[in-house]
Amino acid sequence: MAGPLLETKLHVPRARRGLVARPRLTERLSRGAETSLTLVSAPAGFGKTTLLTDWLGSPVEGRSVAWLSLDQRDNDPAVFWTYVVAALQAVEPDTGAGARLLLQPPGSPSEAILSSLLNDLSGIPHDVVLVLDDYHVIEAGEVQHGMAFLLGHLPPQVHLIIATRADPSLPLARMRVRGELVEVRVADLRFTADEAAAYLDEVMGLALTAEDVGALERRTEGWIAALQLAALSMQGRDDVAGFIAGFAGDDRYVVDFLVEEVLQRQSDSVRDFLLQTSVLTRLDGALCDAVTGRDGGRAMLDALDRANLFLVPLDDRRRWYRYHHLFADVLRARLLDEQPGRVRELHLRASEWCEQNGERPEAVQHALDAGDFERAAGLVELAIPALRQARQEATLRRWLEALPDELLRSRPVLTIGYVGSLMSRGDVDGVEERLDDAERCLHAAREPDGSAGDVVVVDQAGYRALPSSIATYRAGRALVLGDVAATMTYARRALDLAVADDHLARGAPAALLGLAHWTGGQLDTARRWYADATASLAAAGHHSDVLGGALVLADIAVAQGRLREAMSTYQRGLHRAEQSDPPLRGAADMHVGMGQLLCERGDLDGALRHLLVSRELGEHGGLPQNRYRWRVAMARIRAAEGDPEGALGLLGEAERLYVGDFSPEVRPVAALRARLRVAQGRWAEALSWARERGLAVDDELSYLREFEHATLARALVARCAAERDERSIDEAARLLERLLSAAEDGSRTGSVIDVLVVQAVASRLRGDLPAALGSLHRALALAEPEGYVRVFVDEGPPMAALLRAAAKRGAPGYVRRLLAGFDDTASGVAVQRGVIDPLSARELDVLRLLGSDLAGPDIARELVVSLNTVRTHTRNIYAKLAVTNRRAAVRRAEELHLLSRGRAVVRQGSVVPGR
């Protein structure tokens, strides 16, 4: 958040005095607490908030209540989820700590926040009610999507209540069919004749006949606000019956008429106060004094509260209030009619007070409402650094787009802020034009002494950094568009223009240079630049970004065949993350990286342990790429354990979750999937993928497509093995030779090993055993110092045969270790004695969880697969074990000792490493 939280948004409004008892509605709310969602939906003035505060006013043992009053600013996802977490923490302090980390830079998809939050909520032993009041102000699609995810995964003890003037964009129909929704609507909220009589007679003290009450109830159709306004208008009248007889019209007419009646009965001072303060969304005595230009705001608010004049208290200390929304709408309309020339002045006074009291978002909004765009522009300019740090680019973009475009283009600091808000979501359309605007403005106004000349600038530091910022954004745009040469040109210019001690200004272009060289396959240079970038980020105190840099540096080391260096990079990153208090985001990513390396070294148990630790840390402990990388790593383990279908499912999820984050996609998920299909003997599907990608053996080679071309070579070798297609093996050999030369020239030892392994298999297939062993020995010499295993074992029986041939000529310990890796893979199936059709590794995972108390959806979440996948595996298990239910499957598995072996067992409902 750019600024402190407004605590008044988190308080349950104080219950009104003299409420009419409505047991039929409070009982429905109590029944609704047993479902996921209660929707209280009706237009303004039907008592939604009053009903909820009355119901919540009766404490229930074992139930905590979190409240959030929403406003327009909450359409920014970062703001919305920050307040949701804060509301929950107000009643459950230990809830949402991880989610709060996710809401800090560098930000993350909302589902990651919600996953962490849901995990915390699941651990609460009692009922929790979360109320979102005034939800109709929420229009942002990102927030609606996150809310749908939240509703779809709420634990049973958590209940959500939404009070709104219009139905939200949520899956209400599906929830209604499933019995997960309780609705309270206009027909329910309308006062009945008895309730209207109780209100008018007992609460308002009007001695009305039953006929008068019935007439008024019919005329208002139970609309509570209209009844309240009518009651105020009737107080002190002699001809009550005549008033009721003349009471008619639609809602807007009725409100205007009644407010006119109410306002006419107020003193001039009260009436002026009501009209002038109607521009405020929140009322405080000092703020009201600043807006009205008079003293006594605190006393006036107290008097209005006592008079029950449509004032809603927002906190227990009765410092902050707001007007009833309907009443405020009418007051503002009356202000525009009677004093149109004062509206701008009132908003400007409010803006100045908010600025002086540290409430910059409100100061900006009032300046915009006043139409003082120059003032608003200055306030926004000063807010840009904090908004960027808090990753509130959506708020920044909304403010900037509310300014006249010519003003935005005339202020280069604002223009660059707008560019940053666009590029934060990967939008480069119009970015170059905006950068040109900033540059022209900068050059036209720059004075010899470096000042801004005639250009209006309030953020001098931002102005001084403009030349470097413009070049940096041009470099980032070029990288997104795939123009590596331009990226390097602009990034070097940004470094030349950056102030020597501005570590952030130097870190960003250095990182872009590293990424550009990585994209071009120049790994040594890429590593040097990215190391410089992370050092600058560390000096600037951006430690989470340093962990992001560790991922890049480790990836480059792996591509260079330096597995040990990559492991050290991850270990240092983990140490940095764990030494921080609270732990830095990125620790989960370090565990995933170490798991990938251990998997490559053949330590599947160790790899799984790190991946499970990563998952236990939660997605809040990971950077944006963590969800994607975790699934890729787990897919490799699944495939190594003989569960290719499980691996394919994880790769499908990884592809959907992929976040580029400006890094080159050098190992596309589609290519990983094609390799897995080759290993399954489904080489035709892999070749079909290659054709769709436009891959051919005679393509011009590039590092970005190196992994894909090596995959194509594998598919061609597999086709030759299956069909004795000599043309395929010739094409594969030609492609492999070219790939090998390019990888060696680029010092990409990881790719060299990968190509040599396939080359060895291809030569054996052609009957040239000496050439095959020659390639194999070269690969072994490069791989042994770093501990490679899976790159050999994943090639299956053909590689095992080659290794045995090498062993006959005097096998070193490394070759024997690799051959043992083949034995370990086979033993996973051989151990299942007594089962005609052995269970796959994934089916064993499901079988173990069937022995726990977890339901089907919980098992799906535990294994990070869909519910349909769990059901498919369960049917297969039943068929293979010749059983028809869950309990029988577990009993049969125990008889066959299937649950005593494997990489994971169930401990208190969670998967932990096997022993």
Does 837 score more than 70 pLDDT?
no
Paired strand residues for 162: 39, 132
pLDDT at res. 908: 29
Report the number of secondary-structure helices (H) and strands (E) in the chain. 48, 9
Does 391 score more than 50 pLDDT?
yes
* pLDDT tens-digit readout, 636-670: 999 998 888 889 999 999 998 887 678 889 999 99
pLDDT at res. 823: 64
Q: Residue 724: CA atoms inside 13 Å, Cβ hemisphere, count?
A: 1
pLDDT at res. 749: 96
Q: Are 906 and 852 in contact (CB under 8 A)?
A: yes
- Indicate the pLDDT class of residue 784, thresholds 50, 70 and 90: very high
- The larger pLDDT score, comparing residue 881 to residue 470, is at 470
Does 98 score more than 80 pLDDT?
no
Phi, psi dihedrals of residue 127, rounded to the nearest 5°: -75, 145
* pLDDT tens-digit readout, 466-516: 999 999 999 999 998 889 999 999 999 999 999 888 888 899 899 999 999
Instruction: Give mean pLDDT, residues 623-640.
Output: 90
Lowest mean pLDDT of 527-536, 682-691, 884-893, name the range.
884-893
**Token pair 């396959």 in the structure block, residue:** 521
Percent of the chain with pLDDT over 90: 45
DSSP string covering 709-765, please?
HHHHHHHHHHHHHHH--HHHHHHHHHHHHHHHHHHHHTT-HHHHHHHHHHHHHHHHH
**Token pair 């105020």 in the structure block, residue:** 232
Measure the CA–CA gap between 180 and 260, rounded to whole angstroms: 44
Q: Counting beta carbons within 10 angstroms of the beta carbon of residue 23, is it exposed (0 to 12), middle (13 to 18) or buried (19 or more)?
A: exposed
pLDDT at res. 827: 42
pLDDT at res. 78: 85
pLDDT at res. 905: 34
Q: Are 812 and 869 in contact (CB under 8 A)?
A: no
Q: Are 586 and 573 in contact (CB under 8 A)?
A: yes
pLDDT at res. 258: 60
In the numeric block, which tokens belong to residue 21? Answer: 């008892």
Does 241 score more than 90 pLDDT?
no
Instruction: Give mean pLDDT, residues 791-798.
Output: 92
- The larger pLDDT score, comparing residue 7 to residue 257, is at 7
Ranked by mean pLDDT, the top range of 95-109, 154-168, 537-551 is 154-168
Q: Which amino acid is it at 652? A: G
Does 194 score more than 70 pLDDT?
yes
Instruction: Give mean pLDDT, residues 29-50.
Output: 86
- Indicate the pLDDT class of residue 682, thresholds 50, 70 and 90: very high
- The larger pLDDT score, comparing residue 461 to residue 514, is at 514
- Indicate the pLDDT class of residue 446, thresholds 50, 70 and 90: low
In the numeric block, which tokens belong to residue 896? Answer: 């066959």
Measure the CA–CA gap between 461 and 440, rounded to whole angstroms: 19
In the numeric block, which tokens belong to residue 124? Answer: 């609460």
Those residues whose C-beta lies under 8 Å from the C-beta of residue 797, and which sit 6 or more positions away, are none
pLDDT at res. 138: 92
- DSSP letter at 620 equals G
pTM flag (> 0.75): no
In the numeric block, which tokens belong to residue 255? Answer: 């409100």
Q: Are 524 and 535 in contact (CB under 8 A)?
A: no
Catalogue the E-assigned strands of 776-819: none
Give the closest residue to 47 by CA, choosing from 298, 225, 184, 270. Answer: 225
Paired strand residues for 294: none
pLDDT at res. 460: 84
Give the closest residue to 864 by CA, choosing from 679, 672, 629. Answer: 629
Ranked by mean pLDDT, the top range of 461-470, 545-554, 744-753 is 744-753
Q: Residue 550: CA atoms inside 13 Å, Cβ hemisphere, count?
A: 32
Does 227 score more than 70 pLDDT?
yes
Instruction: Give mean pLDDT, residues 218-235.
Output: 76
Does 68 score more than 80 pLDDT?
yes
Give the closest residue to 913 by CA, choosing from 636, 541, 605, 564. Answer: 605
Does 903 score more than 60 pLDDT?
no
- Indicate the pLDDT class of residue 545, thresholds 50, 70 and 90: confident
Percent of the chain with pLDDT over 70: 89
Measure the CA–CA gap between 179 and 193, rounded to whole angstroms: 31
Q: Alpha carbon of 719 to those of 244, 709, 737: distances in Å?
A: 90, 15, 18
Instruction: Give mean pLDDT, residues 221-246.
Output: 75
- Indicate the pLDDT class of residue 317, thresholds 50, 70 and 90: confident
- Indicate the pLDDT class of residue 264, thresholds 50, 70 and 90: confident
Does 153 score more than 70 pLDDT?
yes
DSSP string covering 240-288, please?
HHHHHHT----HHHHHHHHHHHHHHTS-HHHHHHHHHGGG-SSB-HHHH
What angle, 0 to 180 degrees and rounded to 10, lies between the N-to-C axes of helices 886-895 and 841-850? 110
pLDDT at res. 502: 86
In the numeric block, which tokens belong to residue 849? Answer: 């969880």
Phi, psi dihedrals of residue 129, rounded to the nearest 5°: -110, 125
Instruction: Give mean pLDDT, residues 224-242.
Output: 75
Phi, psi dihedrals of residue 69, rounded to the nearest 5°: -95, 120
Q: Are 458 and 375 in contact (CB under 8 A)?
A: no
Q: Which amino acid is it at 728? A: S
In the numeric block, which tokens belong to residue 635? Answer: 């897919």
Does 109 score more than 80 pLDDT?
no
- Indicate the pLDDT class of residue 830, thresholds 50, 70 and 90: very low
pLDDT at res. 473: 93
Does 105 score more than 60 pLDDT?
no
Instruction: Give mean pLDDT, residues 53-66.
Output: 87
* pLDDT tens-digit readout, 693-713: 999 999 999 999 999 999 999
Ranked by mean pLDDT, the top range of 235-244, 584-593, 613-622 is 584-593
Instruction: Give mean pLDDT, residues 295-324.
Output: 81
Does 583 score more than 90 pLDDT?
no
* pLDDT tens-digit readout, 405-426: 999 998 999 999 999 888 877 7
- The larger pLDDT score, comparing residue 585 to residue 791, is at 791
pLDDT at res. 182: 92
- Indicate the pLDDT class of residue 825, thresholds 50, 70 and 90: low
* pLDDT tens-digit readout, 722-747: 988 889 999 999 999 999 999 999 99
- The larger pLDDT score, comparing residue 34 to residue 525, is at 525
DSSP string covering 333-375, please?
HHHHHH-GGGHHHHHHHHHHHHHHTT-HHHHHHHHHHHT-HHH
In the numeric block, which tokens belong to residue 347? Answer: 């908003």
Q: What is the mean pLDDT of the chain?
A: 85
pLDDT at res. 811: 61
Those residues whose C-beta lies under 8 Å from the C-beta of residue 781, and which sit 6 or more positions away, are none
Those residues whose C-beta lies under 8 Å from the C-beta of residue 351, and which sit 6 or more positions away, are 362, 363, 364, 366, 367, 370, 372, 375, 379
